[in-house]
Chains A and B, each alone.
Chain A
């Protein structure tokens, strides 16, 4: 999202909307196209979303999952990708645990690549579906205050949403324990808070993030209990929020940790709308790439 322009974002979202408003019947326009899902990290939501999007477009997809890096596997990432490219797929979707891996591949491959999340760098399709969801619920993005709460340091969702939402005119506040706020993030023109109670009233949108325990290789806060006390979103905390606030979460939810069940399932929640929109946003991206061959 760092390098995607506002007009690019607008055209992707417009196309996604079009897909959402048309019936589910598969189009045959892309029946001769092949999409490769290359996933180096476990994923349920994102991978199945891409797969369904691919199938709805009439294209076929194959899944490759691996959990080892170049150094462990003995075959480099670039070699793996070049081998796949040699089979002439039309799009390669990559998720990787290492920040920058999709960027590096985009430099050596001719096939269009979609970043389905890399390390704690970016997760652009998540940001796009989030933007679509916000616009649906609020009628606009510009002028809204979006509060992102949780492990910002290890979150690719936070980074992509910061870049994307700012380009669309939203104001961002990140909130989390000081140990989970990355250094110099205020230089990206975001507000920083360490108290959910203090900022919850300012938000039009609250985006809750999971504690990324698998990425936190070292001590980040004293205990889950204390984390919940300060950063868990409960009905009680929500009392101070705006009446028309919406609650988002990229999933998977840790119920009872960052988000109470009553909140996740409550009237403010648009969490499942996010998942629904994920499919059409990915359809939009895939169709643009399969048509044009390359946009980014």
Chain B
């Protein structure tokens, strides 16, 4: 099986490539990059398109097993393919929790039958994600987990976190940390400030993130183990991470599209599609996050795709579930940063491909000869209006419905096979 992608602008930060090239794919692998004159029947004309390594979402919630009414491995992977992702990494807070090799094996098996894209699981740090005892991290790794996290439940016990880091270092597994101080946050559900006061909703101060970021940096320094800080939302966190990186502490971090482009003001009509953890912060925080991306203090993008049905969202704000979906909007939304000249095209691609692959040690995120032919084709000038009714995801809880954006996914190719093609 051969496939040629012709006349596209190939951008591959893993080999510092940014040029008009053709790509030849053979037997699911990248065979050649350059000028391809062979006569091959399967050809994609990529004129005017950006051709990149397949995009990776390092932070997805798939809800299977346990909450299949929100999302399944099948629908989640279809949403991912439509969003330009060839690889997604799914968090452990399923039911049952992915805290043992059997659940991991189930997810891997289900991925093989139900998904056309690559799915890598994250294993839970503690049994049942209760923050008490370590899960069997070695077995989780053997079964296929690429990172360890109690995402959704911050690990408040610093001793447990320290032991997990020490233990994970040996297995070369990063720990992904959800940074919110449980006690300080309390029942806080939106950013603490003027808007929480006006709405009469309990606030969650920036300090709850800052405290945990500082703690995790201290523990990463102590243990020399890799901590990856999930969905950073505050200027204060950025400042701490910048300092830690200067001191060569092994920390990396990610940011979501919603924390970059939305503020707590959006909550003003008690719209539960703007309720997530950590909460939307201030415009000052958004500016700091964008600058940190530009300066590579923030390593990667991630969606924190968190599907919820209307049962969990179409209710009182205080009762509604935390989280928004992002797989089908993330590329178009974050591409605004290129349009706004905050990021170069290469930086934008790198933070969705090479960096997530490096952080999680995935053999992905590159178009080097011999690599898996996971490729995304993106039209940088196509204008679209985001419409949640067109989503492949089972859920509709997006904060970006109705947004007009420029830039759209045209093809998603996994292992040399077209798994999604945009149809007008």
Residues of A within 8 A of B (CB): 2, 69-71, 76-78, 96, 98-101, 103-104, 107, 118-122, 156, 159, 182-185, 187-188, 217-218
Contact = CB atoms under 8 A, between A and B. Distances in A.
A104 B317 contact: yes
Given A2-B198, A99-B199, A121-B200, A217 B270 contact: no
5 contacts: A99-B318, A100-B316, A103-B270, A183-B197, A184-B193
A224 B269 CA distance: 36
B317 A100 contact: yes
Contacts of A120: 200
B200 A119 contact: yes
The secondary structure that dominates the B interface is loop
A79 B120 CA distance: 39
Contacts of B199: 99-100, 121
A217 B186 contact: yes
Nearest to A153: B197
B193 A98 contact: no
Interface centre among B198, B205, B316 (most CB of A within 10 A): B316
Interface residues of B, number: 22
A257 to B, nearest CB: 23
Nearest to A119: B200
A271 B29 CA distance: 81
Interface in B153-195: 186-187, 192-194
Contacts of A96: 316
Contacts of A119: 200-201, 318
A78 B319 CA distance: 13
Interface of B: 186-187, 192-194, 196-201, 203, 205, 269-270, 311, 314-319
A122 B200 CA distance: 8
Given A99-B199, A121-B199, A184-B193, A76 B270 contact: no
A71 B317 CA distance: 11
Contacts of B203: 182-183
A69 B311 CA distance: 13
A151 to B, nearest CB: 12
Given A69-B316, A98-B319, A183-B192, A104 B200 contact: no
A123 to B, nearest CB: 10
A99 B311 CA distance: 19
A99 B268 CA distance: 11
Nearest to B191: A183
A87 B298 CA distance: 55
B261 to A, nearest CB: 23
Interface centre among B194, B196, B198, B199 (most CB of A within 10 A): B198
Given A103-B270, A217-B187, A69 B319 contact: yes
A70 B269 CA distance: 19
A69 B318 CA distance: 10
A98 B316 contact: yes
Contact of B316 (A2, A70, A156, A188): A70
A99 B317 contact: yes
B194 A187 contact: yes
Contacts of A187: 194
B110 to A, nearest CB: 29
A99 B270 contact: yes
B315 A78 contact: yes
Contacts of A98: 316-319
A159 B200 CA distance: 9
A98 B275 CA distance: 15
Contacts of B315: 69-71, 76-78
Contact of A99 (B192, B193, B201, B205): B201
A185 B198 CA distance: 8
B207 to A, nearest CB: 12
Given A98-B316, A183-B193, A183-B205, 11 more contacts: A71-B315, A71-B319, A76-B315, A77-B315, A78-B314, A98-B319, A99-B200, A100-B318, A107-B269, A159-B198, A188-B194
